């Protein structure tokens, strides 16, 4: 036997090593997949949830080096709901379903409308948004008045979208329209081409169309192409446990107001934006903002504010006019009152640098008053409302919200309570009395629109 081992030492050693590596491989495989783990079990085991989405303004993009976007924020909340980390895969629109099928991501969240064709491929979650497809065209072009008026017009759309499916149906119904398909071109890029007069017509869901009209105020949003559709997340047909978890999240998120909160962050007041006001804003970004941009940036840095937010406030207050004066005698770029000017240590409210300095310093004071609000975004909205109507009135509105059984630390609830300050049934029971409470709501909404435009300027122009 001893001679046998000596004579076959190399062969025995190789067989031993081979057995060891086979055992190791099987162990690793079983450890990772643990005998056919479900998608949900794998997510919980790895601690990572993988979102498949498209890189666009209304879904997922980077601002100041940080990921943001409606779908990203919603998915991040879902990851927190599951107590796992969020990873994002953005393979391009045409590749999202392939990535889902191949297991390169756990679910698709990308402004995906529920359609019959897609239901055959995937399972959809509870819907989280209602939208409508609309024609988008330049203001110099006559838009179609109805579906039949699409005849002999050429529309440019992205392949594989619900727009594509809708135009197929319209054409089969007998309307002699033409459409050109594009691969992996975001809707906002097609709208930019409309704005630049390179194409005449495209289609966009109304939430996207009105959002992008902020950046291109010369576009017009025309007729709806069909009844309302619904956005939902998509999972593979066999991932029923994950689908159940997503639905549980959406039920909770709708009940707590989370979906509404995120929607308002990105789409607040989007249908009521005035194209003429937006046009004026874009013009004054070029003609007036450059005079004060450096001061705004420098003063914003002192308080760790995003200078583009401050620029949005300045425009809302004065349209970048340093001699602006209101009927109540507030003056200057940031419409500082006499008492606030004294408190902030400035002498001349009409001096642009002094007005900016005082306004930012006062805004910082308002922000600090709401330090107990943990969400920084929400905290800023309360501070902006206080800048406009006064801290005391905001506290009164918070008291009203609390008496109504609402969470007074949520801006969407304060938007309900603030307008009640103009009604005697409410303001007579408050400390600071009557106020035109609808004004701070409109004020904050407009600032958020201007801020959103400024955040996207890197994608639009380099002039400012």
- What's the first-to-final CA gap in the chain, in angstroms? 87
**Residue range 37-53: average pLDDT?**
96
Fold of 133-227: D-Maltodextrin-Binding Protein; domain 2 (3.40.190)
Rounded to whole angstroms, the Cα distance separating 248 from 224 reads 32
What's the pLDDT score for residue 461? 38
What's the pLDDT score for residue 268? 76
* Lowest mean pLDDT across 189-203, 322-336, 369-383: 322-336
Whether 40-126+232-270 and 275-460 share one fold: the answer is no
What's the pLDDT score for residue 210? 92
Residue 372 predicted with pLDDT over 80? yes
Rounded to whole angstroms, the Cα distance separating 224 from 96 reads 27
- Percent of the chain beyond pLDDT 70? 90
Catalytic residue among 200, 264, 317, 408: 317
Higher pLDDT, 323 or 274: 323
64 falls in which pLDDT band (50, 70, 90)?
A: confident
**Residue range 20-33: average pLDDT?**
48
329 falls in which pLDDT band (50, 70, 90)?
A: confident
**Residue range 118-132: average pLDDT?**
95
Rounded to whole angstroms, the Cα distance separating 182 from 161 reads 10
5 C-beta neighbours (distance < 10 Å), count: 9
pTM (2 d.p.): 0.84
Antiparallel, parallel or unpaired: β 66-68 and 61-63:
antiparallel
Rounded to whole angstroms, the Cα distance separating 205 from 40 reads 31
Fold of 40-126+232-270: D-Maltodextrin-Binding Protein; domain 2 (3.40.190)
The mean pLDDT of the chain is 90
**Residue range 68-81: average pLDDT?**
97
Higher pLDDT, 450 or 326: 450
Residue 190 predicted with pLDDT over 90? yes
368 C-beta neighbours (distance < 10 Å), count: 11
Residue where the block lists tokens 């005035």: 274
pLDDT, tens only, 154-184 = 999 999 899 999 999 999 999 999 999 999 8
Rounded to whole angstroms, the Cα distance separating 97 from 121 reads 8
Fold of 275-460: Lysozyme (1.10.530)
CB 284, CB 319: distance < 8 Å: yes
What separation in angstroms does the CA of 24 have from each of 10, 15, 17? 21, 14, 10
Residue 384 predicted with pLDDT over 90? yes
Tokens found for residue 99: 């990535």
pLDDT, tens only, 10-26 = 555 545 555 555 554 54
Which residues lie below 8 Å from residue 8, measured CB to CB, with a gap of 6+? Answer: none
Phi-psi sector, 55: left (phi>0), alpha (psi -120 to 50), beta: beta
Using alpha carbons, select from 429, 375, 374 the residue that is nearest to residue 404: 429
**Residue range 228-245: average pLDDT?**
96
Residue ranges per structural domain of the chain: 40-126+232-270, 133-227, 275-460
Residue 273 predicted with pLDDT over 90? no
Residue 90 predicted with pLDDT over 90? yes
Angle between helices 376-389 and 307-318 (to 10 degrees): 20
1 falls in which pLDDT band (50, 70, 90)?
A: very low
Rounded to whole angstroms, the Cα distance separating 422 from 424 reads 7
71 is catalytic: no
Radius of gyration of the CA atoms of the chain, in A: 28
What's the pLDDT score for residue 411? 96
SS3 of the chain = CHHHHHHCHHHHHHHHHHHHHHHHHHHHHHHHHCCCCCHHHHHHHHCEEEEECCCECCCEEEECCEEECHHHHHHHHHHHHHCCEEEEECCCHHHHHHHHHCCCCCEECCCCECCHHHHHHEEECCCCEEECEEEEEECCCCCCCCHHHHCCCEEEEECCCHHHHHHHHHHHCCCCCEEEEECCCCHHHHHHHHHCCCCCEEEEEHHHHHHHHCCCCCEEEEEECCCCEEECCEEECCCHHHHHHHHHHHHHHHHHCHHHHHHHHHHCCHHHCCHHHHHHHHHHHHHCHHHHHHHHHHHHHHCCCCHHHHHHHHHHHHCCCCCCECCCCCECCCCECHHHHHHHCCCCCCCHHHHHHHHHHHHHHHHHHCCCCCCHHHHHHHHHHHHHHCHHHHHHHHHHHHHCCCCCCCHHHHHHHHHHHHCHHHHCCCCCCCCCCHHHHHHHHHHHHHHHHHHCHHHHCCCC
Residue where the block lists tokens 């392939």: 98
What's the pLDDT score for residue 8? 53
Q: Alpha-carbon torsion 325, 326, 331, 333, what sign?
A: negative
35 falls in which pLDDT band (50, 70, 90)?
A: low
């Amino acid at each position: 036997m001893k001679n046998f081992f000596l004579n076959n030492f190399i062969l025995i050693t190789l067989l031993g090593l081979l057995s060891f590596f086979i055992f190791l491989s099987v162990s690793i495989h079983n450890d990772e997949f643990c005998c056919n783990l479900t998608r949900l079990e794998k997510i919980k085991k790895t601690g990572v949830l993988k979102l498949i989405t498209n890189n666009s303004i209304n879904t997922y993009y980077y601002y100041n080096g940080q990921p943001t976007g409606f779908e990203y924020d919603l998915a991040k909340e879902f990851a927190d709901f599951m107590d796992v980390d969020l990873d994002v895969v953005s393979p391009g629109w045409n590749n999202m379903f392939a990535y889902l099928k191949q297991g390169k991501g756990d679910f698709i969240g990308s402004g995906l409308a529920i359609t019959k064709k897609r239901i055959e491929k995937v399972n959809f979650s509870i819907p989280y948004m209602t939208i409508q497809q609309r024609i988008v065209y330049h203001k110099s072009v006559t838009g179609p008045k109805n579906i039949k008026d699409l005849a002999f017009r050429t529309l440019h759309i992205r392949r594989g979208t619900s727009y594509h499916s809708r135009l197929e149906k319209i054409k089969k119904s007998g309307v002699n329209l033409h459409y050109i398909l594009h691969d992996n071109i975001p809707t906002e890029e097609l709208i930019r081409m409309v704005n630049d007069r390179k194409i005449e017509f495209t289609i966009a869901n109304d939430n996207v169309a009105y959002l992008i009209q902020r950046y291109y105020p010369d576009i017009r949003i025309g007729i709806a192409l069909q009844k309302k559709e619904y956005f939902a997340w998509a999972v593979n047909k066999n991932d029923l446990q994950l689908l159940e978890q997503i639905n549980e999240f959406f039920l909770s998120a709708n009940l707590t107001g989370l979906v509404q909160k995120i929607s308002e962050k990105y789409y607040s007041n989007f249908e009521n934006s005035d194209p003429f006001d937006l046009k004026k804003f874009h013009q004054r970004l070029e003609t007036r903002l450059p005079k004060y941009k450096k001061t705004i940036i420098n003063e914003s840095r002192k308080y760790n504010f995003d200078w583009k937010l401050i620029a949005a406030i300045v425009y809302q207050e004065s349209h970048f006019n340093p001699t602006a004066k209101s009927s109540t005698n507030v003056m200057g770029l940031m419409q500082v009152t006499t008492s606030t000017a004294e408190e902030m240590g400035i002498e001349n409210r009409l001096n642009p640098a002094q007005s900016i300095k005082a306004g930012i310093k006062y805004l910082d004071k308002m922000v600090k008053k709401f330090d107990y609000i943990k969400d920084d975004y929400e905290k800023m909205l309360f501070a902006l409302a206080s800048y406009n109507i006064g801290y005391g009135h905001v506290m009164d509105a918070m008291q009203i919200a609390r008496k109504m059984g609402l969470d007074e630390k949520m801006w969407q609830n304060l938007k309900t309570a603030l307008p009640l300050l103009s009604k005697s049934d409410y303001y007579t029971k408050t400390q600071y009395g009557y106020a035109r409470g609808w004004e701070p709501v409109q004020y904050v909404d407009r600032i958020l629109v201007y801020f959103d435009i400024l955040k996207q300027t890197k994608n639009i122009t380099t002039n400012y």
